[in-house]
Amino acid sequence: MITVYVNERPLEVNKSSNLQQVLALSVQSLELKLDNIAAVHNQHVVPRSKWSTNLCHENDRIEIFSAVAGG
Amino acid sequence: MLTIAGQHFSSRLFSGTGKFASSQVMLDALHASGTELVTLAMKRIDLEQGTDNLIQPLTAMGVKLLPNTSGARNAQEAIFAAQLAREMLHTHWIKLEIHPDPKYLMPDPIETLKAAETLVEKGFVVMPYVHADPVLCRRLEEVGCAAVMPLASPIGSNQGLLTKTFLKMIIEQAKVPVVVDAGIGSPSDATAAMEMGADAVLVNTAIAASQQPVTIAQCFRQAVITGRKTYHAGLAQVSNQASHTSPLTGFLNELC
């Protein structure tokens, strides 16, 4: 297992996890769909086409963004 | 019909989604407004509390989503935000707004121009929120922005068309659509902007923070239609002198 940080919160995941799996695990209890989020991996915006090939490593920083009301 | 980057809009009222008392009120008001383009912001989600899913009901309504870069303080942050928005909302459209000053939320013209140039190169449809500066609007148009969005007065202030003189210059010069954004406080402001020849207006606070958002949204809808129709029909000229509308026959004198 490795520890990654998703929106600053530590998360234990399998060593060979990819970004797609980490994102799915992170939003599973929320109402959000993966289709409606954007992901930043170690300060880089990752296109969704590359989520499944982007491997996660110990202490990686992942940030998840969603749309909110605004003008 | 209004066309921006090849997309047609039959409504010239764009709306924001912020400041509504609830998601349902927002959806009802947007529906009443007849808008076809709505703005959204982005936020890092709180994994404990989650977040409202706005995208699905808005998409179901059939409106086009225009994400903004609110929160960006410079060009680099705005470009980053635009890339996030593209992944999140599957759109190349971006409302570019860079306001480092938290008190008046005045847009930074230099960073906005820099960001616009890069975003256009990256294939974005860029709609920059700017001060009502005719020179800046022309420069933004030259770098390839799809529209310009000059402010009427400070964001959320409801002060109306304080920049009227400059908005007129921008409208006169622009070869891309001009969307008057920010500060429009009442339907009559919206009508006035449309009478001047603005291609559209973007209204948020004046609807969302009103006592009856759905009714006010309907009023804005009518106001924008009226303003556009008036612009096309052409108003009579303003004169400094009186000009009588009834014949001065002098018949009262004749009776005496």
Residue A30 makes CB contacts below 8 A (sequence gap 6+) with B45, B47, B50, B51
Q: Using alpha carbons, list the distances in angstroms from residue B43 to A39, A68, B72.
A: 11, 6, 12
**Amino acid identity at B117:** E
Are B182 and B8 spatial neighbours (Cβ–Cβ below 8 Å)?
Answer: no
Q: Using alpha carbons, list the distances in angstroms from residue B57 to B26, B60, B213.
A: 11, 5, 18
Chains A, B: CB contacts within 8 A come to 112
Residue B126 phi/psi, 5-degree rounding, is: -100, 125
Tokens of A69: 């009301």
Distance CA A44, CA A60 (A): 12
pLDDT of residue B163: 98
Q: Is the pLDDT of residue A55 over 80?
A: yes
Give the percent of chain B with pLDDT over 70: 97
Residues of chain B with pLDDT under 50: none
| Strand B149-150, strand B125-130: pairing | parallel
Contacts of the segment A9-13: beta carbons below 8 A, 24+ positions apart: A9/B47, A13/A56
Q: Looking at the partner chain, which of A6, A32, A70 has a beta carbon nearest the beta carbon of B41?
A: A70
Suggest the residue from B88, B124, B205, B207 to mutate for an interface test with chain A (most A CBs closer than 10 A). Answer: B88
Distance CA A32, CA B50 (A): 8
pLDDT of residue B256: 61
Q: If contacts are CB pairs under 8 Å, which of residues 20-79 in chain B contact chain A?
A: 20, 23, 26, 39-47, 50-56, 65, 67-68, 70
Tokens of B244: 């009588």
- E strand segments, A1-71: 2-6, 9-13, 37-41, 44-46, 61-69
Distance CA B49, CA B212 (A): 29
Q: Looking at the partner chain, which of A27, A30, A64 has a beta carbon nearest the beta carbon of B44?
A: A64
Tell me the chain B residues in contact with residue A64 when contact means C-beta distances shorter than 8 Å: 44-45, 47
pLDDT of residue A33: 82
pLDDT of residue B208: 96
pLDDT of residue B248: 72
Tally the C-alpha atoms within 13 A of residue B21's C-alpha that lie toward its C-beta: 10
| Strand A9-13, strand A2-6: pairing | antiparallel
Q: Alpha helices of B95-133 — where are they, by DSSP H?
A: 109-121
This prediction has a pTM of: 0.91
Average pLDDT of the segment spanning A34-57: 94
Please state the ipTM of this predicted complex: 0.90
- B55 versus A32: which is more confidently predicted? B55
Q: How far is B134 from chain A (nearest CA, A)?
A: 23
